[in-house]
């Protein structure tokens, strides 16, 4: 059914003839987009017009289209054999749009893309709204017709190309211009919304690289559409969520095609200028002043308020709200549980003392411009008592970690993480520090260096002169937690679709486990599977599944460090999973799912029958459901409803469930964008 290119041009004069020749269904007379002899398009113009149409529509940014330079996109369906695919769909009855023929189908897909959304976009369901709805207006009728023809019957030499022969994307050389004001605005928005996933220098991590060689071939239209609509693999829909207007997404799209500006470095001296001891150690209480059950406090991130709330887990009262860093990210407790260390995305570390009647900030310091992780020294044993002695902050920019005094937050040691990737041994200017955990076996922190794929064991017994063992794992290390014995640390290498397992006792990598797309465990969930014994589970941003990995090399060696079970979920976009040793359930969210209903839906899986979710339900009628935490007793689960800071009544709340009956017990309303919640006792003891 393949034709020489010249023949294709000639046939372009009458697609009706071609349709018959190809044996495909013919377009209906009323809606046919086909060319005719009287069409304004004829002969070799067809190819040119098709190419112009593909370029204007930036189709190659999302699709593989043989013969179109740079068309290697994977967000939309592969269009190499779209006519055959369309024909099968029309015949099978799975198609639900209005087209009666393949040509109609192709035409409809361009001018009315949401009339039928294809079921498969490279392994994930295609997403409504992602394909720009304005192509019908943007392309001339003749261009649309030419594109339809091209896809219907690509010229022979093109049709023979396979998708396994990637074409080099070509730079357009046309860098869009922004005014100074627009550039400054876009730079700030990029830092606030995009740098976390794509990197400050845009070299990619949780999200793909966005350097000009990648973005220019996509062009403004396609980039803006992705920014506005999000993608099924976890890119948020900033336009649909109301964070960016159509015009603003275009400014962002243009910014992304320009060279990324590099932010400044930060010295120890600069950090010290921001350092404040608000209550010196000698003026702090020597025993708890409060009669509250402070070990059952929940420290709750109020993301967009730049605060944490300390909430009494017995009475549900908000005991204190304390100002912290910008877009505050996580909290970790000191080994004794008395102090909370809160890290903001702006690198500001705040230390809170939970012993006064009302919890109080006692010190703060800024350690970088962009940070995500903080941990403390926890080791107590033959080598000394390091509890509450040191803290460590992991930074995204500058790429370094900082060791601080655990009582005063005085920073005293900076270690750069710049280095070479484990796979290509290529220099990387921005290897960011992801999860950090403190070993229970040695005075060591396990520090995950995202972009180069190394897990560093940092010995803090002589913290001015730390020794570091660099373990090769996999690129894009992100978040993770201990197994139930706390000997093995499991960390997601998210864009590598792997979980790395480190033995903290022997100080070595024991496994790299393959998983579905973009594992995202938070700290994961430890439980005992009826078939496979002790396991640890992760959810996924890019796949609708929970992956379960065997963690018992002694009792169940045949399953150890293998993905033994996959549990299907109603959607992807999961961020967190949680359980408790005494609970019958595993709880999981789908926070970043592009369907608003799924984004606020949570599921529980029964440990006794882990083949499928036992129950899924929406926790609110707005916002996104995210992150779980148990109370100290392990009888309640707290879930955040992450709302919108400036929408009164819908800013966010915490919903509390009875963990045995799954019945709702209480709501703590009107919190500003609550996300992570950290119970003092559970965080100190790594219970999850």
Distance CA 51, CA 54 (A): 5
The residue among 79 and 194 lying less far from ligand DHE, judged by its C-beta, is 194
Judged by CB under 6 A, the residue of 167, 346, 405, 479 near ligand DHE is 479
* Closest distance of CB 530 from ligand DHE, Å: 26
* Closest distance of CB 214 from ligand DHE, Å: 19
Judged by CB under 6 A, the residue of 348, 523, 556, 600 near ligand DHE is 523
Which residue is catalytic, options 197, 266, 351, 395?
Answer: 197
Residue 522 is a binding residue for ligand DHE (CB under 6 A): yes
Minimal CA–CA distance to 662: which of 587, 574, 582, 570? 587
* Closest distance of CB 241 from ligand DHE, Å: 12
Residue 492 is a binding residue for ligand DHE (CB under 6 A): no
Residue 675 is a binding residue for ligand DHE (CB under 6 A): yes
The residue among 33 and 522 lying less far from ligand DHE, judged by its C-beta, is 522
Judged by CB under 6 A, the residue of 89, 153, 329, 632 near ligand DHE is 329
The residue number whose beta carbon is nearest to ligand DHE equals 196
Minimal CA–CA distance to 433: which of 347, 321, 555? 347
* Closest distance of CB 200 from ligand DHE, Å: 11
Query: Distance from first CA to last CA of the chain, Å, rounded?
Result: 59
Distance CA 685, CA 674 (A): 23
Judged by CB under 6 A, the residue of 55, 89, 107, 303 near ligand DHE is 303
Q: Name which of residues 605 to 634 contact ligand DHE (CB under 6 A).
A: 626-627
Distance CA 481, CA 523 (A): 4
The residue among 218 and 578 lying less far from ligand DHE, judged by its C-beta, is 578
* Closest distance of CB 265 from ligand DHE, Å: 20
Which residue is catalytic, options 59, 235, 333, 603?
Answer: 235
Which residue is catalytic, options 3, 153, 400, 478?
Answer: 478
Judged by CB under 6 A, the residue of 302, 434, 511, 625 near ligand DHE is 434
* Binding range to ligand DHE, per CB under 6 A, among 56-64, 248-256, 324-332, 453-461: 324-332
Which H or E run includes 226?
Answer: helix 219-229
Contact 654, 643 (CB under 8 A): no
Ramachandran area for residue 452 (φ above 0: left; ψ -120 to 50: alpha; else beta): alpha
The residue among 442 and 627 lying less far from ligand DHE, judged by its C-beta, is 627
* Binding range to ligand DHE, per CB under 6 A, among 46-54, 238-246, 434-442, 664-672: 434-442
* Binding range to ligand DHE, per CB under 6 A, among 64-72, 177-185, 311-319, 430-438: 430-438
Burial of 45 (0-12, 13-18, 19+ CB in 10 A): middle
Q: Name which of residues 191 to 220 contact ligand DHE (CB under 6 A).
A: 196-197, 206
Residue 148 is a binding residue for ligand DHE (CB under 6 A): no
Which residue is catalytic, options 198, 400, 428, 580?
Answer: 198
Distance CA 688, CA 682 (A): 8
Helices and strands, counts by H and E, the chain: 16, 37
Contact 96, 23 (CB under 8 A): no
* Closest distance of CB 303 from ligand DHE, Å: 5
Residue 478 is a binding residue for ligand DHE (CB under 6 A): yes
Distances (CA, A) of 65 to 76, 220, 550: 11, 19, 42
If DSSP codes are grouped into helix, strand and coil, which group holds residue 537? strand
Question: 478 catalytic, yes or no?
Answer: yes
The residue among 105 and 456 lying less far from ligand DHE, judged by its C-beta, is 456
The residue among 190 and 386 lying less far from ligand DHE, judged by its C-beta, is 190
DSSP annotation string for 381-438: ETTEE-TTTEEEEEEEESSEEEEEETTT--EEEEEE--EE-TTT--EES---EEEEEE
* Closest distance of CB 12 from ligand DHE, Å: 47
The residue among 45 and 595 lying less far from ligand DHE, judged by its C-beta, is 595
The residue among 301 and 631 lying less far from ligand DHE, judged by its C-beta, is 301
Contact 577, 569 (CB under 8 A): no
The residue among 216 and 417 lying less far from ligand DHE, judged by its C-beta, is 417
Contacting residues for 202 by C-beta, under 8 A, at least 6 apart: 209, 210, 211, 256, 260
Minimal CA–CA distance to 93: which of 114, 116, 110, 125? 116
Q: Name which of residues 353 to 412 contact ligand DHE (CB under 6 A).
A: 372-373
* Binding range to ligand DHE, per CB under 6 A, among 108-116, 123-131, 325-333, 594-602: 325-333
* Closest distance of CB 213 from ligand DHE, Å: 23
The residue among 143 and 653 lying less far from ligand DHE, judged by its C-beta, is 653
Distance CA 148, CA 15 (A): 10
Judged by CB under 6 A, the residue of 575, 620, 654, 680 near ligand DHE is 575
The residue among 33 and 306 lying less far from ligand DHE, judged by its C-beta, is 306
Judged by CB under 6 A, the residue of 68, 402, 435, 513 near ligand DHE is 435
* Closest distance of CB 523 from ligand DHE, Å: 5
Minimal CA–CA distance to 342: which of 393, 379, 292? 393
Distances (CA, A) of 683 to 55, 332, 481, 653, 678: 52, 7, 11, 21, 6
Contact 354, 297 (CB under 8 A): yes
Question: Which residues are paired to 411 by β-bridges?
Answer: 404
Which residue is catalytic, options 59, 126, 194, 271?
Answer: 194
* Binding range to ligand DHE, per CB under 6 A, among 145-153, 210-218, 322-330, 404-412: 322-330
Q: What are phi and psi of 302, to 5 degrees?
A: -105, 85
* Closest distance of CB 676 from ligand DHE, Å: 3
* Closest distance of CB 195 from ligand DHE, Å: 6
Distance CA 601, CA 556 (A): 34
Neighbours of 162 (CB within 10 A): 9
Distance CA 264, CA 49 (A): 47
Residue keyed to tokens 């100080």: 507
* Closest distance of CB 587 from ligand DHE, Å: 12
Which residue is catalytic, options 3, 107, 428, 520?
Answer: 520
CA atoms within 13 A on the CB side of 48: 5
* Closest distance of CB 639 from ligand DHE, Å: 12
Give the residue ranges of DSSP H helices in 524-599: 596-599
* Binding range to ligand DHE, per CB under 6 A, among 123-131, 316-324, 326-334, 565-573: 326-334
Sign for the pseudo-dihedral over CA of 565, 568, 573, 577 = negative
Pairing of strands 390-397, 419-420: unpaired
Contact 514, 563 (CB under 8 A): yes
The residue among 66 and 344 lying less far from ligand DHE, judged by its C-beta, is 344
Number of residues binding to ligand DHE, judged by CB under 6 A: 22
Q: Name which of residues 637 to 666 contact ligand DHE (CB under 6 A).
A: none
The residues annotated as belonging to the active site are: 194, 197-198, 235, 478, 520
Interface positions with ligand DHE (CB under 6 A)? 196-197, 206, 301, 303, 327, 329-330, 372-373, 434-436, 478-479, 522-523, 575, 626-627, 675-676
């Amino acid at each position: 059914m393949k034709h020489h290119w010249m023949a294709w041009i000639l046939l372009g004069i009458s697609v009706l003839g071609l349709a018959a020749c190809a044996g495909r269904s013919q377009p209906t007379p009323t809606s046919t987009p086909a060319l005719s002899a009287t069409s304004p398009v004829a002969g070799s113009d067809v190819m040119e017009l098709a190419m112009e149409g593909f370029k204007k529509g930036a189709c190659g940014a999302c699709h593989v289209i043989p013969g179109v330079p740079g068309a290697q996109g994977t967000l939309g369906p592969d269009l190499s054999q779209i006519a055959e695919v369309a024909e099968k769909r029309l015949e099978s009855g799975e198609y639900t749009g209005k087209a009666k023929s393949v040509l109609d189908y192709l035409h409809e897909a361009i001018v009315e893309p949401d009339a039928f959304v294809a079921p498969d976009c490279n392994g994930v369901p295609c997403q409504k709204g992602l394909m720009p709805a304005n192509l019908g207006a943007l392309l001339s009728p003749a261009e649309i017709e030419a594109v339809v023809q091209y896809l219907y019957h690509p010229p022979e030499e093109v049709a023979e190309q396979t998708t396994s022969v990637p074409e080099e994307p070509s730079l357009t050389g046309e860098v869009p211009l922004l005014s100074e004001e627009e550039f400054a605005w876009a730079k700030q928005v990029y830092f606030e919304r995009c740098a976390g996933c794509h990197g400050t220098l845009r070299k990619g991590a949780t999200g793909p690289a966005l350097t000009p060689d990648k973005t220019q071939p996509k062009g403004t239209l396609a980039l803006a559409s992705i920014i506005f609509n999000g993608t099924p693999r976890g890119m948020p829909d900033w336009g649909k969520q109301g964070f960016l207007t159509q015009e603003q997404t275009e400014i962002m799209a243009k910014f992304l095609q320009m060279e990324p500006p590099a932010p400044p470095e930060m010295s120890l001296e600069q950090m010290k200028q921001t350092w404040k001891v608000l209550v010196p150690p000698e003026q702090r209480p020597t025993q708890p002043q409060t009669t509250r059950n402070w070990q059952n406090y929940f420290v709750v991130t109020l993301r967009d308020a730049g605060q944490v709330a300390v909430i009494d887990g017995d009475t549900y009262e908000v005991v204190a709200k304390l100002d912290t860093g910008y877009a505050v990210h996580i909290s970790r407790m000191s080994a004794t549980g008395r102090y909370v260390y809160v890290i903001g995305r702006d690198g500001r570390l705040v230390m809170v003392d939970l012993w006064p009647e009302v919890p109080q900030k006692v010190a703060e310091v800024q350690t970088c411009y962009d940070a995500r992780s903080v941990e403390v020294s926890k080791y107590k044993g033959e080598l000394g008592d390091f509890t509450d002695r040191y803290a460590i902050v992991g930074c995204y920019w500058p790429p370094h970690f900082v060791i601080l005094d655990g009582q005063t937050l005085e920073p005293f040691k900076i270690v750069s993480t710049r280095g070479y990737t484990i796979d290509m041994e290529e220099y990387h200017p921005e290897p960011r520090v992801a999860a950090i955990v403190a070993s229970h076996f040695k005075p060591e922190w396990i520090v995950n260096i995202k972009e180069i794929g190394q897990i560093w064991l940092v010995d803090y017994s002589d913290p001015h002169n730390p020794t570091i063992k660099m373990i090769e794992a996999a690129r894009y290390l992100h978040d993770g937690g201990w197994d139930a014995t706390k000997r093995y640390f499991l960390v997601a290498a998210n864009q590598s679709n792997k979980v790395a397992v480190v033995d903290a006792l022997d100080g070595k990598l024991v496994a790299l486990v393959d998983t579905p797309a973009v594992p995202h465990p938070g700290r994961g969930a430890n439980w005992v599977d009826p078939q496979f014994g002790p396991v640890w589970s992760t959810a996924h941003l890019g796949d609708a599944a929970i992956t379960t990995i065997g963690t018992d090399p002694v009792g169940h060696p045949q399953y150890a460090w293998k993905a033994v079970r996959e549990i299907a979920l109603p959607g992807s976009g999961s961020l967190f999973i949680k359980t408790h040793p005494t609970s019958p359930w595993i709880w999981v969210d789908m926070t970043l799912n592009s369907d608003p209903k799924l984004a606020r839906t949570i599921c529980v899986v029964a440990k006794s029958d882990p083949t499928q979710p036992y129950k899924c339900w929406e926790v609110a009628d707005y916002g996104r459901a995210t992150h779980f935490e148990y109370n100290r007793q392990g009888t309640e689960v707290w879930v955040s409803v992450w709302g919108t800071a400036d929408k009164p009544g819908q800013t966010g709340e915490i919903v509390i469930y009875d963990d045995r009956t799954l019945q709702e017990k209480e709501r703590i309303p009107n919190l500003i964008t609550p996300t992570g919640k950290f119970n003092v006792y559970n965080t100190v003891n790594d219970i999850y």
